[in-house]
Amino acid sequence: MDSVNVYECIDVTPANAAKEGLFCIKNAHYPGFKLKLEWLKNRQQEGLQLKLLKVNGETVGFIEYVPGEYAWRPVEAGGYLFIHCMWVFPNKNLGKGYGSILLSECEKDAKAGGKRGVAVVASKGSWMSSPEIYEKNGFESVEEKDRFILMTKVFGNFQRPSFLNWEENLNHYQGLNLVYANQCPLFIKSVDEMKETARALGHELKVKVMESPEEIRKAASGYGVYSLVYNGKLLADHYISNTRFKNILTKEVQK
């Protein structure tokens, strides 16, 4: 890397979030920002860390991780640090090693805290980091299920994390259900529109906001924090727009 550049990792807390932003949302007046900030406040006591990477004063990426006991993904990862999200953006910042810097921050904290290692759920699909960046930094695949890949970097001879069986939770959701958590601040922007769309097509969209890591154990997808389910069938495992929702309803529900 160019030695002229100045790199800085900033810990985002409820106290400085309005100033530093949340990376994916910088506008403190956006509803999702406020919801994420409240979520962040509640997670601080569980050891959650949200860090921004700045290069020459410009924010280029972020990483969010938490002790595995409090992971907001359907996993058993006690004793590990668990990465929820990592994102480098825009595309001009890709391929410059910024993701590796963020991962090294997480690994450093894991070692300092006496953790077994670092774990993450990756995917080549939407809304999750691809496995390549983790493989590049010494992570190995532990388990694959649907499009999701559980990966870990272990510091010794320890038991590996594992997926929970989210498929067995699907039948708990009858009717049309949107189940999500404010771990991601972007979900809220389409919820009201989706309710109206469902109503216009003669359906009630039942919305449940998951409030704790324990509730994530009842998630209906490997992403954990977003599931659209109709009568026990998973229709979407990541955020979708209202337009996409309407298309899904027309195809899957209005039969």
Task: Provide block-wise average pLDDT over 10 residues at a time, the chain (255 residues).
Answer: 80 94 90 94 95 96 98 98 96 94 98 98 93 98 97 98 97 96 94 96 96 95 97 96 95 80
Q: What is the pLDDT at residue 244?
A: 96
Radius of gyration of the chain (CA): 19
Range list of β-strands (E), 45-172: 49-55, 58-67, 75-76, 80-88, 117-123, 140-145, 148-154, 162-163
Both tokens of 130, joined, read 């691809």
In the CATH hierarchy, which fold is given to the domain comprising 166-253?
Glutaredoxin (3.40.30)
Residue 89 in 3-state DSSP?
coil
Q: What is the pLDDT at residue 1?
A: 45
Q: What is the pLDDT at residue 255?
A: 60
Q: What is the pLDDT at residue 80?
A: 98
Which helix or strand (DSSP H or E) is residue 208 part of? strand 205-210
* Residue among 234, 115, 111 nearest 166 (CA): 234
Q: Where are the domains positioned within the chain?
A: 7-163, 166-253
Residue 66 in 3-state DSSP?
strand
Fold equal for 7-163 and 166-253: no
50 burial (CB, 10 Å; 0-12 / 13-18 / 19+) is buried
Opening angle at CA 121, ends 9 and 57, nearest 5: 15
Calculate the dihedral angle through the C-alpha atoms of 175, 234, 75, 135, rounding to the nearest 10 degrees.
-160
In the CATH hierarchy, which fold is given to the domain comprising 7-163?
Aminopeptidase (3.40.630)
Which helix or strand (DSSP H or E) is residue 109 part of? helix 98-112
Q: Are 84 and 65 in contact (CB under 8 A)?
A: yes
Please, what's the b/e burial string for 65-83 (b: 16 or more CB within 10 A of its CB; e: otherwise)?
Answer: bbbbebbbbbbbbebbbbb
DSSP state of 252: I
Neighbours of 183 (CB within 10 A): 24
* Residue among 216, 215, 252 nearest 233 (CA): 252
